[in-house]
Structure 1
Amino acid sequence: MDNKKKGRTMKVGVCGTGKMGAAIAQRLKSCGHELTVWNRSPAKAQPLVALGANVAESPAALCAACDVVITMVLDDTALDAVYRGAGGILSADLSDRLVVDMSTVLPATEEAIAAEVKAKSAAFVECPVGGSVRPAREGKLFGLVGGAEADVKRARPLLEQLCRRIEHVGAPGAGARLKLAINLPLLVYWQALGEALALCRPLGLPPDRLVDIMADTSGAAAAMKNRASDLARALAGQLPPTASFDVRAARKDLSTMVAYARTLSLELPTAAAALKSFDEAAAHGLADNDAIAVPARWATGQ
């Protein structure tokens, strides 16, 4: 049975309608929920208005209109503004609301926000997700959930409409820890792949053939195999017109990993080196491009 048909219709609000937030909102709308959205840049919410969503003037106003509030923003600073800023979520009456944060941020940030939301008589669940825009639209994300058992039980019917798999891994902050761990090998891999492809420059092989060879080896990650055609075009100078996961977001995740590791008295030398490469790509004007721009840049030397 299509998981669109599970659960009752609810009044759901989404704060943050960037790439992932908009895709999640579209999925919720397609599942029949009454949707209200808010975004710091109102223009980004207009495509959702065309689908029938309501627009709130502030996160607090969104909370007043909804039973469930979902936040999906880029980083800790943005999340702090959405919750604690003027007209933020924590300024609203949250009694009996369910608040779900799907951002990828520091574990300590999730722990602090969870405590503040709970103090306002609301349920709180964190659910950072694995997957990009297309899986979000199709309800095929991988949810890494942190929260109290009762709160997670309450959130599960809605999360099942967004995720192909849900793993409740502990208290608030646990999902953030696991999400950072999961993203680390992928982002390091994109940099390593770029270096590997750079070694192949003297061969002069056509990009599609080179990628096909590399993808059929034990060193190829699933992400490369899934995006082989995109990578081949990127090597030929044709980056994807829209990013499923852009360099800016990748940089943020890598910097968050390195910062979190330091709270554990750990160093992440490989992640730190990858971060430097993503920083350089952003400095060359690639911040808004898909993350495969990084291996493409290394492979071509541009």
Structure 2
Amino acid sequence: MVGASSNDFGRVKPSLEGMGSVIHHCGGPGTGIRTKLVNNFLAISQNQLSAEAIALATALGLELEQTLTVVNGTTATNGSLTLGWPNKVLKGDIEPGFKIDLALKDLSLIMEAAKSKKLPMMMGAAAKESLTIATTGLGMGEKDFSGLLHAQCKLGGLTPPKLKG
């Protein structure tokens, strides 16, 4: 996600292509970082919502694979449940890719940006509180942000679920 004039973007694009395969020119200077805030807000908040939903399914005694089949076949699906979690947290891996501490830092920046625009962010506030509990209350800041599932299960006295096989 890049914010730059068209001329500047054209100049740096070859270097950016050496660093990543998908480059998004978001507009003028500053638009790249603001787009990143929006993107990270969705990713972090969906991760917390997914953690609560899978913890609830576990508490209700639902079979994980069947629950995921249903959820991922409806409008309730999201990237956490379909892309990241089956290959990471639902296999028991909460070692960092993107740390909860970093997610909390990003969510703090997101909330500051919204506040500067006088935009209330109720879901963002709830997600930030959840990440704060995971980091300061549970000491999980160095774990992957998909590890929010483990934090949610710990808070509910549950064993984190794993996919079979």
Question: Aligning the two structures, in what range does the TM-score lie when normalised by the shorter sequence?
Answer: 0.7 to 0.9
Q: Are the equivalent residues in 2 in contact too, given 1:197–1:298 (CA < 8 A)?
A: no
Aligned residue among 215, 218, 221 for 2:78 = 221
Cα distance change of structure 1 residues 160 and 202 upon mapping to structure 2, 3 Å threshold: closer
Q: Which has the larger strand fraction? A: 1
Residue 246 in structure 1 maps to residue 108 in structure 2: no
Task: With the length of structure 1 as denominator, give the TM-score of the two structures.
Answer: 0.47
Aligned residue among 147, 157, 162 for 1:293 = 147
Cα distance change of structure 1 residues 202 and 261 upon mapping to structure 2, 3 Å threshold: closer
Task: With the length of structure 2 as denominator, give the TM-score of the two structures.
Answer: 0.81
Q: How does 1:200-211 map to 2 (within 5 A)?
A: 200-211=57-68
Q: How does 1:107-146 map to 2 (within 5 A)?
A: 144-146=1-3
| Partner SS, residue 169 of structure 1 | strand
Deviation string for 1:170-202 (max 9, x for gaps)? 222111111111111111111111222232234
Q: Rg bigger for which structure?
A: 1
- The structure whose RCO (Cα within 8 Å, separation 6+) is larger is 2
Cα distance change of structure 1 residues 223 and 202 upon mapping to structure 2, 3 Å threshold: closer
Q: How does 1:12-23 map to 2 (within 5 A)?
A: none
**Residue equivalent to 2:162:** none
Q: Are the equivalent residues in 2 in contact too, given 1:208–1:229 (CA < 8 A)?
A: no
**Residue equivalent to 1:187:** 44
Q: State the distance in 2 between where 1:191 and 1:182 align.
A: 15
Deviation string for 1:45-102 (max 9, x for gaps)? xxxxxxxxxxxxxxxxxxxxxxxxxxxxxxxxxxxxxxxxxxxxxxxxxxxxxxxxxx
Q: Are the equivalent residues in 1 in contact too, given 2:51–2:152 (CA < 8 A)?
A: yes
Cα RMSD of the aligned pairs, angstroms, is 2.1
Aligned residue among 80, 89, 112 for 1:231 = 89
| Partner SS, residue 244 of structure 1 | coil
Q: Which amino acid aligns with 2:140?
A: L
Cα distance change of structure 1 residues 208 and 197 upon mapping to structure 2, 3 Å threshold: same
Identity %, equivalent residues:
27
Q: State the distance in 2 between where 1:292 and 1:213 align.
A: 20
Cα distance change of structure 1 residues 253 and 186 upon mapping to structure 2, 3 Å threshold: same
Aligned residue among 2, 5, 10 for 1:153 = 10
Q: How does 1:32-47 map to 2 (within 5 A)?
A: none
Deviation string for 1:109-157 (max 9, x for gaps)? xxxxxxxxxxxxxxxxxxxxxxxxxxxxxxxxxxx11123322121111
Deviation string for 1:191-222 (max 9, x for gaps)? 11122223223433454554454434331112
Q: State the distance in 2 between where 1:191 and 1:156 align.
A: 34
Q: Are the equivalent residues in 2 in contact too, given 1:211–1:231 (CA < 8 A)?
A: no
Q: Are the equivalent residues in 1 in contact too, given 2:58–2:64 (CA < 8 A)?
A: no
Q: State the distance in 1 between where 2:70 and 2:87 align.
A: 12
Aligned length: 154
**Residue equivalent to 2:163:** none
Q: Are the equivalent residues in 2 in contact too, given 1:211–1:232 (CA < 8 A)?
A: no
**Residue equivalent to 1:263:** 116
